[in-house]
């Protein structure tokens, strides 16, 4: 069976920092368990009004637009932007 393309994941693997993080499971898990990642997830859930799973499912099928819209709205908020910046600072550098 041929593997289906996943445009959002494919785009991540082309970014050197994201690709390095995806290959380092311990660093990725640590980052995902961080208070800032948890804060962003709470903000996403609040912003989505119950539609986060639907947006994530659409992204898994190749339509990242709904999820990206949610993420954009969260990182444009003051709290979301601050948490996202702290995550960027914690992410492994190339």
Listed in sequence order, the residues at least 6 apart from 77 whose beta carbon sits closer than 8 Å to its beta carbon are 43
Band of the pLDDT at 27, cuts 50, 70, 90? confident
Whether residue 80 is predicted with pLDDT greater than 70 in this model: the reply is yes
pLDDT at site 2? 43
Distance CA 78, CA 81 (A): 5
What mean pLDDT value characterizes the chain? 82
Predicted pLDDT at 81: 92
Report the predicted TM-score, pTM, of the whole model to 2 decimal places: 0.69
């Amino acid at each position: 069976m041929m593997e289906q393309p996943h445009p959002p994941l494919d785009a991540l693997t082309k970014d050197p920092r994201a690709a390095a993080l995806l290959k380092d499971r311990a660093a990725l898990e640590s980052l995902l368990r961080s208070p800032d990642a948890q804060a962003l997830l709470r903000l996403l859930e609040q912003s989505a009004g119950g539609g986060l799973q639907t947006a994530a499912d659409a992204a898994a099928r190749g339509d990242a637009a709904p999820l990206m819209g949610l993420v954009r709205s969260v990182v444009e908020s003051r709290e979301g932007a601050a948490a996202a910046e702290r995550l960027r600072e914690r992410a492994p550098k190339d």
